[in-house]
Amino acid sequence: MANFLIIGLGNKGEEYDNTRHNIGKEVLLHFAKAHEDSDWKEDKKLKAKVAKIKIDKNSATLIIPEMFMNQSGLAIRSLSKAGGGVFKPEQVILIHDDMDLPLGSFKISFNRGSGGHRGVESVSKVIKSTEFTRVRIGVSPVTAKGLVKKPKGEDAVVTFILGKFKPVEVESLHKVSKWVGEALEMIISDAKQGREKAMGMYNTGVKK
């Protein structure tokens, strides 16, 4: 039986609900909702919400840090191998927003840099590795030619990622949440080849 640790990144506080920076948290909540055996509980020691699910013979511990983005790694410190826990880096799956990808898309990456994402940096620092899976969810609009349109300048970036999704964008988010859920199930159910299968199917747009 294989075990996974899945973290959905986001900022604490209701004022950040439905913001672009919190999409990782929202997608993980959607994934958990699809599994009737999931039951979120507050873990004061971890400062996180925790749920556990089973898919076939394998299991996953779901984590939503109850802290700000740049502290996210602290929620899994005691669970990681580096902190004396049981989860190795390759068992970790991180779900987060990515401005380099268009809204309505996502990509699965493994053993890559943070791309400047503070939450990813925090997790990498705590587990002392980059050898974990990232589910990068696009949040940026596109031009008429289909090019990603990102804000320029630090202030503009902060305003953008902390801004809420528009009503017309919600349908795209629902579709992405569904696809990410399918990809996660593929990865969890097949510990040896699931990640490569999911990357081949979803990163190339075959499934979509």
The tens place of each residue's pLDDT in the chain, 208 residues long, gives 899 999 999 999 999 999 999 999 999 999 999 887 678 999 999 999 999 999 999 999 999 999 999 999 999 999 999 999 999 999 999 999 999 999 999 999 999 999 899 999 999 999 999 999 999 999 999 988 888 999 999 999 999 999 999 998 988 999 999 999 999 999 999 999 999 999 999 997 655 5
Question: What is the CATH code of the structural domain delimited by 3-203?
Answer: 3.40.50.1470
The ranges assigned to domains in the chain are 3-203
Of the residues 21, 35, 96, 117, only one is catalytic, namely 21
Which letter, b or e, does each residue of 27-43 get, where b requires 16 or more Cβ atoms within 10 Å of its Cβ? Answer: bbbbbbeebeebeeeee
- Whose tokens are 């020691």? That residue is 45
Cβ contact 125:77 at 8 Å: no
Q: Is 30 a catalytic residue?
A: no
Half-sphere exposure of residue 196: CA atoms within 13 angstroms, side-chain side: 3
Tell me the C-alpha to C-alpha distance, in Å, between residue 65 and each of 32, 48, 84, 146, 162: 15, 4, 19, 34, 17
Residue 146: the pLDDT is 84
State the Cα–Cα distance between residues 38 and 61, nearest whole angstrom.
10
Query: Would you tell me the crossing angle of helices 23-33 and 170-189 to the nearest 10 degrees?
Result: 60
